[in-house]
């Protein structure tokens, strides 16, 4: 069941040929030039669950050595839940799916990595550069190789003041156009959470909280004050939504929001004040530098408290997201 034209094996004939997997087969031909690790390749060809992971969080989201430690721990969590982690990045002009520990280490210490979203691939690849892929960049690659689910901390969104700056993350349009399920802890309140939810609605993205109610989490805390359009009670139901999306051949992605575990919740008032201050300071920053600037300022102002919450929630997302991936693989096996 492998494409003769592809270096990447197709999803095997043992898989039920539903529309999602068929789409993956077609797309995978475009992935000829990707470097897919042997473990990820094997997993994809045998329908074993694979979880994609982004790398901007390593290159721009956290300081060394926390970035490396967290990346390794997250991969361990995925493996423990019975799935195969596939961290995606651009290394010296080549798109990699599945990184070795050495490659992760190099990425974590390298100073001149490019934050790579969808728009940046042509440039980063042509110049042979190294880049950490954002949520949008990671979704593009995950879909090309047939990975249906992707775990991260938080997605980009509509920035506060976007009504004048027009600063709206490419993550949101990507969710509207690429059928990958993104598992995150909601939308950071450095952003305009309400407008982000509106924008996702316009883009036709299925947004659901995995939990007992539809309170939409804002990354550091479990309740942003906004409601998601829906909630599901279990990873199995989240996986079923993925399958229903596929059966309808919807081209759009999905967003599953997992509230941060109570024990990792940051002090609400402390985070809020730090964020307000950091957003003010970011007034003179623009483009792709805005989000990394605010993230590092919030971490400084809270003396690392936000970083601790960040690490706690991403590991929890990896656990829950892997459970969804395992459930989804069993639906399509
Ligand atoms: N939010 C975080 N940590 C991150 C990011 C967002 O809490 O590391 C990264 C993700 O890679 C996301 C990107 O896709 O920032 C969004 O950047 P922008 O706002 O420039 O679109
Ligand atoms: Mn932006």
Contact (Cβ atoms closer than 8 angstroms) between residue 210 and residue 235? yes
327 close to ligand 1 (CB < 6 Angstrom): no
* pLDDT score recorded for residue 8: 40
Contact (Cβ atoms closer than 8 angstroms) between residue 131 and residue 116? yes
* pLDDT score recorded for residue 31: 60
Q: Let me know the angle formed at the C-alpha of 229 by 53 and 163, rounded to the nearest 5 degrees.
A: 80
Given a cut of 50, whether residue 196 has pLDDT beyond it is yes
Confidence of residue 91 (pLDDT cuts 50, 70, 90): very high
* CA atoms of 154 and 193, how far apart (whole Å): 12
Given a cut of 60, whether residue 178 has pLDDT beyond it is yes
* pLDDT score recorded for residue 100: 98
* CA atoms of 275 and 297, how far apart (whole Å): 8
CA of 122 to the centre of ligand 1 (A): 20
For ion ligand 2, residues whose CB falls within 5 Å: 167
CA of 3 to the centre of ligand 2 (A): 38
Ligand 1 pocket check: which of 54, 61, 275 to mutate, most ligand atoms within 8 Å of Cβ?
61
* pLDDT score recorded for residue 115: 98
275 close to ligand 1 (CB < 6 Angstrom): no
Residues 297-326: tens digit of each pLDDT: 999 999 999 999 999 999 999 999 999 999
CA of 239 to the centre of ligand 2 (A): 30
What is residue 52's three-state secondary structure? strand
Orientation angle between helical segments 66-80 and 305-332, nearest 10 degrees: 30
What is the average pLDDT score of the chain? Answer: 91
Residues 201-218: tens digit of each pLDDT: 999 999 999 999 999 999
What is residue 231's three-state secondary structure? strand
For residue 190, what are its two tokens? 């450095």
Count of other CB atoms within 10 angstroms of residue 92: 11
Given a cut of 60, whether residue 19 has pLDDT beyond it is no
* CA atoms of 85 and 61, how far apart (whole Å): 19
Q: Let me know the angle formed at the C-alpha of 87 by 129 and 131, rounded to the nearest 5 degrees.
A: 15
Count of other CB atoms within 10 angstroms of residue 52: 30
Orientation angle between helical segments 290-301 and 268-281, nearest 10 degrees: 130
For the segment 96-124, the average pLDDT, to the nearest whole number, is 98
* pLDDT score recorded for residue 30: 52
Contact (Cβ atoms closer than 8 angstroms) between residue 82 and residue 92? no
6: which residues sit within 8 A by CB, 6+ positions away? 28, 29, 31, 32
Given a cut of 70, whether residue 333 has pLDDT beyond it is yes
DSSP state of 31: G
CA of 119 to the centre of ligand 2 (A): 12
Measured from the Cα of 310, ligand 1's closest atom is 7
* pLDDT score recorded for residue 32: 66
- Residues serving a catalytic function are 54, 188
Given a cut of 60, whether residue 16 has pLDDT beyond it is no
* CA atoms of 8 and 32, how far apart (whole Å): 7
For the segment 100-109, the average pLDDT, to the nearest whole number, is 98
For the segment 141-163, the average pLDDT, to the nearest whole number, is 97
* pLDDT score recorded for residue 267: 83
Contact (Cβ atoms closer than 8 angstroms) between residue 60 and residue 296? no
Orientation angle between helical segments 135-145 and 170-177, nearest 10 degrees: 20
ipTM above 0.90, yes or no: yes
Measured from the Cα of 135, ligand 1's closest atom is 14
* CA atoms of 178 and 254, how far apart (whole Å): 9
For residue 1, what are its two tokens? 């069941």
Contact (Cβ atoms closer than 8 angstroms) between residue 12 and residue 48? no
* pLDDT score recorded for residue 4: 29
For the segment 229-245, the average pLDDT, to the nearest whole number, is 98
Torsions phi, psi for 100 (to 5 deg): -80, 170
């Amino acid at each position: 069941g492998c494409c003769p034209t592809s270096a990447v094996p197709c999803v095997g004939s043992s898989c039920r040929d539903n529309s999602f997997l068929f789409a993956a087969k077609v797309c995978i031909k475009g992935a000829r030039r990707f470097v897919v690790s042997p473990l990820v390749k094997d997993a994809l060809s045998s329908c074993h669950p694979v979880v994609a992971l982004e790398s901007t969080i390593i290159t721009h989201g956290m300081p060394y050595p926390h970035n490396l430690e967290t990346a390794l721990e997250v991969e361990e969590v995925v493996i423990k839940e019975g799935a195969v982690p596939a961290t995606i990045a651009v290394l010296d002009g080549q798109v990699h799916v599945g990184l070795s520990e050495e490659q992760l280490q190099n990425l974590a210490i390298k100073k001149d990595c490019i934050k790579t979203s969808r728009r940046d691939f042509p440039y980063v690849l042509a110049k042979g550069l190294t880049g950490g892929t954002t949520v949008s960049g990671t979704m593009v690659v995950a879909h090309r190789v047939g990975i249906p689910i992707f775990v991260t901390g938080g997605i980009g969104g509509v920035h506060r003041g976007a009504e004048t700056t027009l600063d709206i993350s490419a993550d949101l349009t990507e969710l509207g156009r690429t059928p990958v399920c993104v598992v995150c802890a909601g939308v950071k309140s450095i952003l305009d959470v309400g407008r982000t939810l509106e924008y996702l609605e316009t883009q036709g993205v299925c947004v659901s909280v995995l939990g007992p109610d539809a309170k939409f989490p804002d990354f550091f805390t479990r309740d942003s004050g906004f409601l998601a359009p829906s909630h599901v009670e279990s990873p199995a139901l989240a996986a079923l939504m993925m399958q229903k999306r596929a059966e309808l051949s919807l081209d759009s992605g999905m967003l599953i929001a997992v509230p941060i575990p109570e024990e990792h919740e940051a002090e609400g008032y402390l985070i809020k004040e730090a964020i307000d201050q950091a957003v003010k300071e970011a007034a003179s920053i623009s483009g792709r530098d805005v989000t990394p600037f605010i993230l590092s300022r919030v971490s400084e102002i809270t003396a690392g408290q936000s970083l601790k919450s960040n690490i706690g929630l991403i590991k929890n997302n990896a656990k829950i997201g892997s459970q969804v991936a395992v459930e989804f693989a069993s639906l399509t096996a």
